[in-house]
Amino acid sequence: MMTAENRGLLAARGFSPARRRTGSTGWNRSAPFGAVARPAPAGGPPPSERMHDLDFLLGSLRCLFRTGAVRTARVRPILGGHYYQLDLTHVRPRKKERIRGSWVLGWDRVDSAFVSYYFDDAGIQGTSTSPGWQDGHFVLTGSFVLGELQQHAVIKSDITRIDEDHFTIAEHIEKNGTWVLLDTQDCARKR
């Protein structure tokens, strides 16, 4: 049971006790499927309801690449739920390297599209956009700088949900006007 003093402390720090998470897993069982409690915004409009389209990412992810690499991520809402941030670790066993990065996704109210910002310690950075789910696919397309190769590239990430805790990503690069498959990922979520 939360005391009035604790509720006041949480509210002062931007959290809404009315939308608190419940249960040992942190999920609000009375909320709609996949919904998660978010910190209340300090000012401005509330987060877009479209952000719930990405709730399947929230929690811990483990993605296995066709090429043998492994990516893990911790995914959480930030900035009052206006964005979701994936803190990533990417391990390439063959090259014996570990890359750390962040991927931030949000909803652009002006252009009615999802926006994505990616950056990592290997020098890769970029932005992409998506209209959202269409025919079972969430496709992000955008321009990236590939630090290791010192070149620009247009990359498309096609996400397909298998179930609430399992999805795949097919990543393509544009070469001479044609999409060429870079790699695929099989991802599982642990809440």
d(CA 41, CA 187): 30
pLDDT value for 40: 57
pLDDT tens-digit map of 173-187: 999 999 999 999 999
Are 53 and 34 in contact, with CB atoms under 8 Å apart?
Answer: no
Residue in 103, 52, 102 with CA at minimum distance from that of residue 81: 52
pLDDT at residue 37 in the model = 57
- Would you list the domain boundaries of the chain? 1-40, 57-190
Name the CATH topology of 57-190: Lipocalin (2.40.128)
Contact at 8 Å (CB) between 143 and 150? Answer: no
Ranges in the chain, pLDDT < 70? 1-42
pTM here? 0.76
Residue-level pLDDT at 94: 79
- Between the alpha carbon of residue 132 and those of residues 20, 21, 88, 102, 135, the distances in Å are 27, 26, 22, 20, 10
Q: CB 101: neighbour CB atoms within 10 A?
A: 18
Q: How does 17-29 read in b/e, with b if 16+ C-beta sit within 10 Å?
A: eeeeeeeeeebee
* pLDDT, position 149: 74
Give the pLDDT confidence score for residue 25 in this predicted structure: 42
